[in-house]
Amino acid sequence: MNERPGCLAGLLKLFLVDAILDFFQEKFGFGRGGCCGCGCGVIMLIISTAITCSILLGTDWLNFGF
Asked if residue 63 is part of any domain, the answer here is no
State residue 17's pLDDT score. 92
Provide CB contacts within 8 A for 43, sequence distance 6+.
35
Q: Quick check: is 65 in a domain?
A: no
Do the Cβ atoms of 59 and 1 come closer than 8 Å?
no
pLDDT digits (tens, 9 = 90+) for 23-37: 887 877 765 655 555
Residue 53 above 70 pLDDT?
yes
Domain span at residue 26 reads 7-58
Contacts of 64 (CB under 8 A, 6+ apart): 6, 7, 8
Judge if pTM exceeds 0.85: no
Q: What span, in angstroms and rounded, lies between the C-alpha atoms of 47 and 28?
A: 14
Count of domains observed in the chain: 1
Q: Look at residue 22 in the predicted model and tell me its pLDDT.
A: 86
Residue 64 forms part of a structural domain: no
The kind and range of the H/E element at 30 are: none
Length of the chain counted residue by residue: 66
Report percent pLDDT > 70 for the chain.
Answer: 77
